[in-house]
Structure 1
Amino acid sequence: MEVARRHPTVATIVELGSSRSGRPIRALRIGSGDKVALLFGCPHPNEPIGAMMLDYLSERLASDAELREALDYTWYIVKCIDPDGTQLNEGWFAGPFNIETYVRNFYRPPGFLQVEWTFPIDYKTLHFSRPLPETKCLMKVIDGERPAFLYSLHNAGFGGAYWYITRPVPKLHARLHEIAKRHGIPLALGEPEVPYCEKFAEAVYGLFGVKDTYDYYEKHMDKDPASLISGGAGSDEYAYARAGTFALVCELPYYYDPRIEDTSPTDRTRRDTVLESLEASEKAWEFIRETYAELRPLLQNPSSPFAVAIDDNLKHVPASIEAERKWATTAEDTLRPATGAEAFDSLVVRRFYNELSIGMLWRLCREELARASDPRTSRVLGDIERELDRKLSLECSALEAELNYRVVPIRDLVRVQLASGLLFARHLLGEDAV
């Protein structure tokens, strides 16, 4: 790491381990403050903005003694915690930054292969004890250094800015809003990521963990919740249990449409819009299931990352849709009129996320088509690939026509992540200034 080479007296490299494919995972340790902060980028491999923020922060901390003194931490910075998965997203990193490029080059692993969601947990009937090698790298820092502050650097694909924190800090919630608005990024005022997270303020939520997911399934499903959960605990959940760590997640969009901030009431109930969105998701996943049933017998590499992700999602996404439908039809809050932002989130943004899994299925088919040597297999794969290609083109074109979206400049995403992190890092030291 160049920062350690340029600033050897304040920055050192800590070898944490290796990824599943053998890529080294290292932390940059900077400073020698009383508290420890752990920051890591690419917790999901389609979320690379944090790596760029950490590039800037590392150099600034190492070169600025006054800043290090003001921020009295020993910093552990991991630029990319999932290098293997991140490589599978590189096709969209250079642009063009539009919906179709993103969809056709997207990869996200299933829950049990996500670094962020594979920490050990024993809760009721859920017993997960298979942390990934990358997860063990984070566990090494958490267990050994007991960080006071943990910052997992996420991005949302489409929408607005929102944050998760360990506990409410009312005096800082409006400050987060100001940071986003200062850089022209709207707040995500539509539906929350999951129905069961606790709302502290507009676009500010309590961190939710696998225990919360378990309890939600226990309430809304007749099956053992453990059978519906693919992974384990989250990084914040694990760090809090080990060290009482305060964690921050800052979710920032690559694209946004102004409707994500529309709080005016519509003429439809929130229940109606959520149920319509779930019906659309069911149709999308039925298409994926039927197409994958044709494709799977032809796979020469059933352990392809795309095949593993689709296999696991087909086991768990339908149950998630069923649970959300039961929540939507029983929660009293869904009877009020949906806001414009909530309706937009349910009826438009959700379609964007459905396309991402179809994009992974298309990538799997192309991967197999390039490998096939038998003429009959090539012909069948070619037919499937053309159908998937046609569907992606039609759906992405429809979204492009329906959306009035803007691509958020990377520098603004980096600045908001940086300012949000510094806000809470200083708060935990007993200061309030950004």
Structure 2
Amino acid sequence: MRTSLYPGVDELERRARTLVRAAPGLLRLSRVGESRAGRPLWLLSAGRGERHILAVAGAHANEPVGGASALRLAALFARRPQLLETLGCTWHFLLCLDPDGAHLAHGWQPEEPEPSLTECHRYFYRPAFARQPESLPVPPGKPLPESAALVRLLDELRPVAQFTLHGIEFGGAFVMMTREVPGAADAFRETAAHLRVPVDRDPVDGPDWRLDPPGVLVLPDGHDEGERDPSGYVAESTWFHPRRHGTLTTLIEAPAWAVPSVSDARPVTDPDRAAARLGEVLLGRTRELAAVLGTRLDTAVAEDLAPLRVAARELLDVAPSIVASWAAEEPGRFRGHFASRGISARRIPLRVAAMASRALARTDPRTVEILDDLVREWSQELEKTYDLRWVPVAAQTGLHVRTMLTTARLVCGGGG
């Protein structure tokens, strides 16, 4: 049977209400804020323990798996409330931090067993950096209403742990933790191995973080609140904000398509040539896109499509700084390092082409046709080059759920 597996924003609320009706003494749903467009931010809470844990889903519009994971764990608590009692906690799920972005990205509903990477990008949207609610502006900038709602929630709950549930289109699994928790890294790697999800030995994200290979990044001691993002921005983050309360934040990244080579520890014979090739791919494809687009991304489009235009323009502009950041890295010596960056070099122009196509769909059909051809060509090249393998959604959500539970037990001291 072929079924759609990522719930949209409205379905998240409906399914949460169904869970509450089935377990009214354990689960409850509350509105904790609203988006820029006035959409509600829903918090599903389970249990009534003294300690609090918060899981944040839907921080990025192109990552719908987090909401599915939140519902899966909430349903597990409804069936087995003793899990919460053992932890002595109340567990909260922010079902979608960016409902506006999720509505703009909604449309791709993968059907197993054979989802399409090209079809995925027909609906692709990932906001520009300043519109991503987990990012906080450098003062005196004003945070987005979604960001402000999350900060209020963190200050009110003072959770022992905050989990942020992320997903990438293709690559490997990894986690980022704001402090080291003994046993958590090994537990994550064991979970990934059990679910047959490759672990990214050396993720592109978190260049300032300490790598505990494979696949675990830990915030270094003495790190300040501002982190240098690979895109070239400096911003505070809702990951860092609750450290003042002693909160551990763990970001969990689950791929939709797995790339086995990101786990490859074999040495590279010519790392300098491999590094140069990364820049050639990214800059070559962004130059090709710039030639196709000309000034089209600098002209106005319909208001509902403007976020797509802004995000595509930003990615085009930051490509040279990303290549420069890779060149400044300590040279990688193993194949997984270059696989991770090779994927990123291809992912960025693919995202630009996909979002620019959507932004220009009503005004420039000829350019859209060229962009759609590039999306198809680059998707097929990715599938062939990296042997992409679809990760069943049950495994994607399983990675989130099991990592959250094992980490929570280590933090709270609960049993197995």
Task: Say if 1:183 and 1:412, in contact at 8 Å, map to a contact too.
Answer: yes
2:174 aligns with: 162
- Counterpart residue type for residue 8 of structure 1: P
Secondary structure of 2:265's aligned partner: coil
Q: Deviations over 1:197-243 (max 9, x none)?
A: 211231111148862317x99xxxxxxxxxx527x3222111113x1
Secondary structure of 2:162's aligned partner: strand
Instruction: Pick the aligned partner of 1:144 from 150, 156, 160.
Output: 156
1:251 aligns with: 253
2:145 aligns with: 133
Q: How does 1:242-321 map to 2 (within 5 A)?
A: 243-269=245-271, 271-296=272-297, 299-301=300-302, 304-321=306-323
**TM superposition outliers: structure 1 runs of 4+ over 6 Å:** none
1:16 aligns with: 32
Instruction: Pick the aligned partner of 2:116 from 71, 76, 98.
Output: 98
In the alignment, structure 1 segments of 5+ residues that lack a partner are: 122-126, 218-227, 370-380
Bigger Cα displacement from structure 2, 408-417 vs 28-37: 28-37
2: CA distance between counterparts of 1:166 and 1:388?
39
2:57 aligns with: 41
2:9 aligns with: none
- Counterpart residue type for residue 426 of structure 1: R
2: CA distance between counterparts of 1:311 and 1:391?
17
TM-score for the superposition, normalised by structure 2: 0.87
1: CA distance between counterparts of 2:297 and 2:172?
37
Distance 1:74 1:158, change over 3 A: same
2: CA distance between counterparts of 1:128 and 1:314?
27
Task: Say if 1:158 and 1:349, in contact at 8 Å, map to a contact too.
Answer: no
Task: Say if 2:204 and 2:341, in contact at 8 Å, map to a contact too.
Answer: no
1:221 aligns with: none
TM-score for the superposition, normalised by structure 1: 0.83
Bigger Cα displacement from structure 2, 94-103 vs 402-411: 94-103
Query: Is 1:383 paired with 2:366?
Result: yes
Bigger Cα displacement from structure 2, 57-66 vs 232-241: 57-66
Task: Say if 2:134 and 2:238, in contact at 8 Å, map to a contact too.
Answer: yes
1:359 aligns with: 354
Secondary structure of 1:350's aligned partner: helix
- Counterpart residue type for residue 129 of structure 1: G
Query: Is 1:423 paired with 2:406?
Result: yes
Q: How far is 1:298 from its partner?
A: 5.5
1: CA distance between counterparts of 2:291 and 2:225?
30
Distance 1:85 1:13, change over 3 A: same
Q: Deviations over 1:306-327 (max 9, x none)?
A: 11212333444433333433x1
Q: Deviations over 1:278-311 (max 9, x none)?
A: 2321222233334443324654426611112123
Instruction: Pick the aligned partner of 1:112 from 123, 130, 133.
Output: 130
Distance 1:195 1:143, change over 3 A: closer
Aligned residues: 394
2: CA distance between counterparts of 1:427 and 1:300?
50
Q: How far is 1:408 from its partner?
A: 0.3
1: CA distance between counterparts of 2:413 and 2:19?
29
Distance 1:277 1:191, change over 3 A: farther
Secondary structure of 1:233's aligned partner: strand
2: CA distance between counterparts of 1:61 and 1:409?
22
Task: Say if 1:173 and 1:201, in contact at 8 Å, map to a contact too.
Answer: no
1:175 aligns with: 187
Secondary structure of 1:88's aligned partner: helix
2:70 aligns with: 54
2:42 aligns with: 26
2: CA distance between counterparts of 1:293 and 1:210?
38
Distance 1:5 1:194, change over 3 A: same
- Counterpart residue type for residue 395 of structure 2: D
Bigger Cα displacement from structure 2, 281-290 vs 69-78: 281-290
In the alignment, structure 2 segments of 5+ residues that lack a partner are: 1-16
Distance 1:272 1:2, change over 3 A: same
Q: Whose helix fraction is larger, Structure 1's or Structure 2's? A: 1
Q: How does 1:171-210 map to 2 (within 5 A)?
A: 171-207=183-219
2: CA distance between counterparts of 1:310 and 1:88?
14
Task: Say if 1:295 and 1:384, in contact at 8 Å, map to a contact too.
Answer: no
In our comparison, the structure showing a higher alpha carbon Rg is 1
**Percent identity between the aligned chains?**
23
Distance 1:365 1:265, change over 3 A: same
Bigger Cα displacement from structure 2, 277-286 vs 247-256: 277-286
1:378 aligns with: none
Q: How far is 1:191 from its partner?
A: 4.6
